[in-house]
Amino acid sequence: MDLYEILMKRRSVRDFEDKEIPDEIIDKILDAALSAPTGGNIQPISIIVVRGEEAREKLDGILGNQPWVKRAPVSLIFCLDFHRAKRWASTFGTDFSGERAVWHFLIAYADVMCASQNAAVLAESLGLGSVYVGAILSKIDKTRNFFDIPEYVLPMMILSIGYPKTIPKNIPKLERDIMVHKEKYEWRTDEELRAAYENKYGDFDETAEDYLKRAYIEAIEADKQGNLGRVEYIKGQLDKLAIKSNAEFLFKVRYPSEAMVELNEEITGSFRKAGFNF
Ligand SMILES: Cc1cc2nc3c(=O)[nH]c(=O)nc-3n(C[C@H](O)[C@H](O)[C@H](O)COP(=O)(O)O)c2cc1C
């Protein structure tokens, strides 16, 4: 398979075989991550390799509803790390203002994602599967505590990797035409936008289970692996809130607008505790 085919075939995998990944393969994945582009070649990232039973259990407990972090033989915690460069600079009496500069922060978060995507792509090409767990963003304090993470370091992303047991099919996507703009941003009518999303998600008239299989496979998988009752909860919300469209499902049930805004306090609070102050 060439790289294009590998990328087109890739799906997030949350169901892993109970099989170790050899050390040499993990090293290659780490090398791929660490050779990714990085703004100014500063390399403000660290990767914590989680393989042991206890740490996997703990990570699962911290996240609460993502049992694949326990199931996967390896999870990589990608951290935005200004601690290392700050300490190094300070030994020369120099201040690196990473934790106060939005510029450095945004570039470093992009670095984290470049590195983690290199890891994801290499893993895929080696016959492994992976899933990102961005939910760690609302669990920064607990993760920093357990993994002994110093000031000026933020765990920003997890990539859980393993040999796929099942690979989800039919994950809906928008068509290229609505996402790609030629020369200038191409404004769309409301009807065009509605048609594009309807084309992605389909009509909202299936049974909840059939709908969730396509539009929220995480909930189905979480119940299968962790018996977490997420599908029942979602069904309850669909009824209670009289959800009638894909958009309402996404922004009233899955990512309720106000609840997402309320997370600001927690996330920015974690940033402050880690010494970040923009
Ligand atoms: C930034 C980011 C954060 C994500 N966070 C999670 C997560 O917390 N839990 C999870 O199960 N999947 C997570 N995913 C995976 C997405 O749900 C998945 O990529 C999306 O549903 C599209 O499916 P696909 O990767 O199979 O194409 C994340 C993906 C990205 C890029």
Residue-range domain boundaries for the chain: 3-168, 176-261
**Tokens 């084309």 -> residue:** 199
pLDDT of amino acid 211: 86
Where are any strands of DSSP class E within the chain?
A: 15-16, 45-50, 74-81, 129-133, 153-162, 164-166
Cα of 203 to ligand 1 centre, how many Å?
23
- Position in ligand 1 atom list of the atom nearest CA 113: 1
pLDDT of amino acid 91: 98
Measure the CA–CA gap between 15 and 71, rounded to whole angstroms.
7
At residue 271, the 3 state secondary structure works out as helix
Residues in the chain: 278
CATH topology for 3-168? NADH Oxidase (3.40.109)
Tokens of 245: 């469209």
pTM: 0.97
- Ligand 1: which of 6, 112, 133 to mutate, most ligand atoms within 8 Å of CB? 133
pLDDT of amino acid 56: 97
Low-confidence ranges of the chain (pLDDT < 50): none
pLDDT of amino acid 45: 98
Task: Tell me the pLDDT tens digit for each residue of 53-67.
Answer: 999 999 999 999 999
pLDDT of amino acid 228: 86
Amino acid at 238: L
Measure the CA–CA gap between 64 and 224, rounded to whole angstroms.
15
Name, in order, each residue with C-beta under 8 angstroms of 14's C-beta and a sequence gap of 6 or more: 68, 71, 131, 160, 168, 217, 218, 221, 225
- Ligand 1: which of 131, 136, 171 to mutate, most ligand atoms within 8 Å of CB? 131
Measure the CA–CA gap between 76 and 128, rounded to whole angstroms.
14
Q: Output the CA angle 243-246-250, nearest 5 degrees.
A: 85
Q: Output the CA angle 19-20-24, nearest 5 degrees.
A: 140
Q: By the 8 A CB rule, do 248 and 71 touch?
A: no
CA distances from 70 to 1, 62, 148, 167 (A): 30, 11, 19, 17
Residue from 119, 118, 123, 101 nearest 42 by CA:
101
Measure the CA–CA gap between 61 and 95, rounded to whole angstroms.
37
CA distances from 76 to 24, 52, 100, 258 (A): 15, 12, 26, 30
- Of all protein residues, the one whose alpha carbon is nearest to atom 2 of ligand 1 is 134
Cα of 92 to ligand 1 centre, how many Å?
41
Percent of the chain with pLDDT over 70: 100
Tokens of 251: 């922004």
Tokens of 156: 């920003």
Ligand 1 pocket by Cβ (under 6 Å): 11-12, 14, 66, 131-135, 168, 171, 218
- Of all protein residues, the one whose alpha carbon is nearest to atom 30 of ligand 1 is 132
Measure the CA–CA gap between 44 and 85, rounded to whole angstroms.
7
pLDDT of amino acid 210: 84
- Of all protein residues, the one whose alpha carbon is nearest to atom 14 of ligand 1 is 132
User: For strand 15-16 and strand 45-50, is the pairing parallel, antiparallel, or unpaired?
Assistant: unpaired
Cα of 81 to ligand 1 centre, how many Å?
23
Measure the CA–CA gap between 267 and 264, rounded to whole angstroms.
5
- Of all protein residues, the one whose alpha carbon is nearest to atom 26 of ligand 1 is 11
Percent of the chain with pLDDT over 90: 93
pLDDT of amino acid 259: 97
